[in-house]
Structure 1
């Protein structure tokens, strides 16, 4: 099981003042030195945090897994195939959303993905992951497309009240089992933090990459980035 750190909000802080710091590439280096297996970034259409120049610098500096989160636009596909990260995670993207809100609805995108998106990405060695809620129908359609991995959207679980959280964990567990049975990697991310991560790891099997960003970067304001990354790794080691 691998920890991938999303460094988007280091760029958010940099962009707030336009001073050039803190540098998300330096943050990525600290995370990897602390033991993270790789780095996640989301290049959005409005460039609200990560910028094009960051993408190319990350490609040069990251030694572990580099996960490019993106909408399936022609612009993003061209940038992705140019830098050739290890992993491309396709996510829904709304202009007004504060963060990614839920997984892809496969019935609404499958024709476009089959005819336009996957043929372009399959010309490369980039692994393709789809960001999905733990719905069996969506997972099965992803397998039909030939996805290499599914990143399970854990935000609903993370934001649920205690009574509903067990239900969401059950959905995630069943989703992970189905993904594994269909021959795809099981990744997970969104809304995870030091408090809810143990419940996820205890319940959901076959996890390969766990992506954590906002909570980790926020805690690092108080603890420092190295200590915070190691705190997450200590939790994950208990469930390895």
Structure 2
């Protein structure tokens, strides 16, 4: 079964909008675990506009499922944060300064030597490494040469085109997934996956180990409740 990792950034955004600690990010993470999430994902950014660095320490000390920290490894503060907390997995994302949300994968050819260095750094610390990539065979193949354990396919293009032609939208992802498996890479996916498009994506993508979902899941929870929402996302993956 593909694991569901819940990204709780949006919970932190809501908390930060009023100050204080409501909603309580740590408690939400623990409730996500209780309700069936198999992992917790955070994506801290330098301005701490959602997840704060202290949140990462608090979460690491309390959660019992897989902990995935994703972010821009070109930020020294991010690297130090990951090494200090030693999560189950670090997902390397090529964010730019001030970027609202992740919107592209790594150019694993142009950044080959750098990604080799970063993969080795985190793996030497006992942290599983995943690299955020577009479903481009050349990028997948080059990612395999970095020494990373996994790749995470950036799925916005699939989600955008799903309603027009699901088979056409998923095809490059299925091909990228097959290639990744042949190259010995584990496979994750994330971005704009939701209750409408997730089950089809899962059915068409072989060897999918994990999806990380935040925005859509938290939005659904406003109507369905957190427990029911996680139950429905888990059902889409089974």
TM-score w.r.t. structure 1 length? Answer: 0.94
1:96 is aligned to 2:98 = yes
1:87-111: CA deviation from partner (whole Å, max 9, x where unpaired): 0000011233321002111123222
How far 1:164 sits from its partner (Å)? 5.0
How far 1:193 sits from its partner (Å)? 0.5
Aligned match of 1:133: 134
Q: Distance in 2 between matches of 1:66 and 1:180?
A: 23
1:196 is aligned to 2:192 = no
**Shift in CA distance, 54/203, structure 1 to aligned 2, threshold 3 Å:** same
Q: Distance in 2 between matches of 1:114 and 1:8?
A: 28
How far 1:112 sits from its partner (Å)? 2.0
CA RMSD of aligned residues (A): 1.3
Which stretch of structure 1 is more off in the superposition, 217-226 or 170-179? 217-226
**3-state DSSP class of the match of 1:106?**
coil
Ranges of 4+ aligned residues in structure 1 off by more than 4 Å:
none
1:206-228: CA deviation from partner (whole Å, max 9, x where unpaired): 11011111000011112211111
Structure 1 alignment gaps of length 5 or more: none
Aligned match of 1:85: 87
Structure 2 alignment gaps of length 5 or more: none
How far 1:161 sits from its partner (Å)? 5.6
Aligned match of 2:121: 120
How far 1:64 sits from its partner (Å)? 0.7
Aligned match of 1:218: 219
Pairs aligned (count): 236
**3-state DSSP class of the match of 1:142?**
helix
Q: Distance in 2 between matches of 1:199 and 1:122?
A: 33
1:4-25: CA deviation from partner (whole Å, max 9, x where unpaired): 1000000000000112111111
